[in-house]
Structure 1
Amino acid sequence: MNRLLQINWTDLQYSADEFSREVYTFPLHIRILIGITLTFVVVVIVLLAVILGSRIHKTRRARTREELRRKYQPVFMELLFGSDEPFSEQDPKRLFDPLDLQTPFHQEILLEETIHLHENFSGETAARLEHLFVKLGFHEVSKRRLREKRWDKVAKGMRELSLMNVREAEPLISPFLKSKNDILRKEARVALVNLSVKDHLSFLSRETEPLTDWDQAVIYSMMSKMPELSIPDFSAWLDSKNPTVVEFCISMIGAFRQQESLPILIRLLNDPVEKRKLLAIRALRELGAAAAEQPLLDLYPSANSEMRREILRTLEVIGSERSLQPIHQLLLQPVSDLPLAIQAVRSLLATGPRGVQLVEQLSVHGDPKIQQVIRHARDKRL
């Protein structure tokens, strides 16, 4: 039996040589097909091995993740809800396995779990999680991400530091305002709004890249959730060399009803940049600035169609009897712009009883087109 299992390597080598000689006796196209087939088989075997290895690796990591979550769930419950002792005086590290805090994958799972919990809590519980994030050294992990070469790793680090309110990271994030990567600039702006202690928008003074509509919407959303005392005076950046910063601040003056900036907005009605004029008109409407009525009436003749529509919408809010005659004269002219004429009727109606009377006269004695405009303006469904 042992002889049967023994291998004669000399015979095997001879057989291999014999096989190779036999192959070379085949026609060229047969040899090519054999070569392609063998290559395909090898590639499939390697691919299957890679897929199987990847599957095993992912399964192990998922199992480890679930085990760690079960292991530390009571620990998080104890730290967040189980003790009346001030959290700043506690040592949470004693409840964690040092090996889990040193193993990169285990550390990453615990870091992500801390952030996940923070997203679902507020108040004192959220503050405890922020302290825990720092005491376990996770903030250093996020800081190291800022030095990564991959932009997605850097963005992740900024997001983590911002979410967990690690204010000491502000100087490390500021340089990314000048990054060539648009996503990193966006993340840096959001992080700085959240991390700045006094002036949340101080970065606007050194902002050189354009603020996109998305940037402006995100910053406004964040500022609207802050206490009123945290809202800065947006007129401070109206002399910025960055046009988008100026435009954003004009809009914010109106959005946050900063009445002290009213004289500046009225001066902006004479700005050579059309978009700034337009934004100033909208801001004046949000402020309900009656003082802007005459300047708007003076601007109307030289304004373009869009700006005229915004002026009339603003006069609908702030207009008085001073606007009666100018708007009435507009409606006596042939209607060339239907939406503009409809808005003019609404603005005239808003001036009071005298305006309503003038509209009634036009609806009776006016030409058919102006009568149609009046019907549209009075239709509550439009």
Structure 2
Amino acid sequence: MTLSLLSIFDLFKPGFFYATAAVFAVLIVLLLVLIYWNLYERKVAFFQPQSFRMGFELWVSKWILEELQDIDTIRVPSKFTKHLKRPNNRQFALNSLIELKKSVAGAVGDKVVALYLELGFKEDSLKKLNSVVWHQKVKGINELSVMQQEDMNARIFKLTNNRNIYIRREAQSAMFNFYGFKGLRFLNVLTHAISDWQQLNLIEQLRPLDPEPIPGLSGWLHSDNDTVVIFALRLAEIYQCFEVHADVVHCLTHANEAVRSQAAKTLKEIADDSTAEILCKQYTAETLRNQIVVLNSLAVIAGDAQQPFLTKELDNENAFLKLGAARVIATCCSNGWAILSAKAQEQPSPFQKIYNHLRFELKK
């Protein structure tokens, strides 16, 4: 007890306060030094990369524009070689070349690829490709694809059916980027679904290319993967592949409603003399949604031969189908307006409204 009281009293001695103050003073000084050092490092980390980035982009632009004929000679300034050892600077330089390559072609594009190889960036892309982290792998695929490293196509092709949706999307786009229409050969082995978004992206990539025969299209229309069939039908529709008409007709009996719907849309673009009658026969076996699609297709390809079928559909209980049949009659039958006018007199409700609506819609 006495020892405890003495130790407590010692706390109030001047010497103890001086020692405590000194300790706190040292800690405050150390804290200030650490804060200053941290701010200094941040300043250096900000300004040095900015300086490097501006200098690198300026050098690349000058080299490409002023030395266009000297593609085999690349002399990288030593100051850049030093900075490129830092991961952040290296990735920035690589990203800059990737973006530049996307916006140029021809001789300038070849120079960008040559610089990509000279700086050893292909090895960086391969490290990403070999990564177990999916977004790194996606980045690697994209870099190799943009830089047209076709020697990597076999490895990338294997990833077109990867279980990770982002990896296989990027790999599929890469195969197209390498080979255009021929790059779609991954559809032969694809077991995973192709989303509508990915189909749209692939179609948009194909649009700038000159139309050409699509190898494998007929086989894709008989694929076990329903989304592959739908994508093939869309290709046949966009590029009017008349040679697969029979295969598309076969798709009208597919178990998947979406496949049948797209088949009806495709047949509108590749129709022959028998197509309208085929759609009329399929109509009765279809769902309401697909019946509307069939009528929309018939509005483009039907003729007087389909008039009995269409006239019968005017008595359908469903208002949408009644209007759809009336639209086809007005559009495709030689005496279509007379048929609708007579129907309106016979049964004013609802056919007078349908007649007036179609007159306004079709401007006739």
When normalised by structure 1's length, the TM-score is 0.79
Mapped contact 1:177–1:189 kept (Cα < 8 A): yes
Per-residue CA deviation, residues 56-108 of structure 1 (Å, 9 max, x unaligned), is: 65543332222113323442123221124252x33344687432344433322
Q: Does 1:284 align with 2:284?
A: no
Pick closer, same or farther for the CA change 1:141–1:326 going to 2, 3 Å.
Answer: same
Secondary structure at 1:81 match in 2: helix
Mapped contact 2:57–2:96 kept (Cα < 8 A): no
The residue number in structure 2 matching 1:216 is 199
The residue number in structure 2 matching 1:35 is none
Pick closer, same or farther for the CA change 1:20–1:170 going to 2, 3 Å.
Answer: farther
Gaps of at least 5 residues in structure 2 are 1-5, 13-26
Pick closer, same or farther for the CA change 1:51–1:367 going to 2, 3 Å.
Answer: farther
Q: Does 1:372 align with 2:353?
A: yes
Pick closer, same or farther for the CA change 1:360–1:91 going to 2, 3 Å.
Answer: same
Per-residue CA deviation, residues 250-298 of structure 1 (Å, 9 max, x unaligned), is: 2221122111111211222233433322111010113344431111111
The residue number in structure 2 matching 1:238 is 221
Query: 2:221 is matched by which residue type in structure 1?
Result: L
What is the alpha-carbon distance in structure 1 between the residues aligned to residue 349 and residue 180 of structure 2?
62
Query: 1:65 is matched by which residue type in structure 2?
Result: P
Q: How does 1:158-307 map to 2 (within 5 A)?
A: 158-196=141-179, 199-229=182-212, 231-307=214-290
Deviates more, 1:173-182 or 1:154-163: 173-182
Pick closer, same or farther for the CA change 1:106–1:224 going to 2, 3 Å.
Answer: same
Pick closer, same or farther for the CA change 1:96–1:117 going to 2, 3 Å.
Answer: farther
Pick closer, same or farther for the CA change 1:376–1:138 going to 2, 3 Å.
Answer: same
What is the alpha-carbon distance in structure 2 between the residues aligned to residue 91 and residue 60 of structure 1?
30
Per-residue CA deviation, residues 178-236 of structure 1 (Å, 9 max, x unaligned), is: 43322222222222221247721111112111111111111111122223237545223
What is the alpha-carbon distance in structure 1 between the residues aligned to residue 281 and residue 40 of structure 2?
75
Deviation at 1:18, TM superposition (A): 4.4
Q: Does 1:360 align with 2:344?
A: no
Query: 2:59 is matched by which residue type in structure 1?
Result: V
The residue number in structure 1 matching 2:311 is 328
Deviation at 1:142, TM superposition (A): 0.8
Mapped contact 1:92–1:132 kept (Cα < 8 A): no
Q: Does 1:70 align with 2:54?
A: yes
Q: Does 1:141 align with 2:124?
A: yes
Q: Does 1:345 align with 2:329?
A: no
- Report the identity percentage: 19
Q: How does 1:66-145 map to 2 (within 5 A)?
A: 66-85=50-69, 87=71, 89-93=72-76, 97-145=80-128
Deviates more, 1:63-72 or 1:276-285: 63-72
The residue number in structure 1 matching 2:18 is none
The residue number in structure 2 matching 1:308 is 291
Per-residue CA deviation, residues 300-343 of structure 1 (Å, 9 max, x unaligned), is: 22222112111111111001111111101211x2x522222221
Mapped contact 1:133–1:139 kept (Cα < 8 A): yes
Q: Does 1:60 align with 2:44?
A: yes
What is the alpha-carbon distance in structure 2 between the residues aligned to residue 22 and residue 289 of structure 1?
105
Query: 2:112 is matched by which residue type in structure 1?
Result: L
Deviation at 1:146, TM superposition (A): 1.3
Mapped contact 2:245–2:271 kept (Cα < 8 A): no
Mapped contact 2:221–2:232 kept (Cα < 8 A): yes
Pick closer, same or farther for the CA change 1:61–1:330 going to 2, 3 Å.
Answer: same
Count of aligned pairs between the two proteins: 341
Gaps of at least 5 residues in structure 1 are 1-16, 24-41
Mapped contact 1:269–1:280 kept (Cα < 8 A): yes
What is the alpha-carbon distance in structure 2 between the residues aligned to residue 51 and residue 275 of structure 1?
65
Mapped contact 1:312–1:344 kept (Cα < 8 A): yes
Pick closer, same or farther for the CA change 1:296–1:363 going to 2, 3 Å.
Answer: same
Query: 1:174 is matched by which residue type in structure 2?
Result: F
Mapped contact 1:167–1:196 kept (Cα < 8 A): no
Instruction: Output the aligned Cα RMSD.
Output: 3.2
What is the alpha-carbon distance in structure 2 between the residues aligned to residue 339 and residue 322 of structure 1?
22
The residue number in structure 2 matching 1:151 is 134
Deviates more, 1:371-380 or 1:338-347: 371-380
Mapped contact 2:221–2:247 kept (Cα < 8 A): no
Pick closer, same or farther for the CA change 1:239–1:171 going to 2, 3 Å.
Answer: same
Secondary structure at 1:85 match in 2: coil
Pick closer, same or farther for the CA change 1:375–1:200 going to 2, 3 Å.
Answer: same
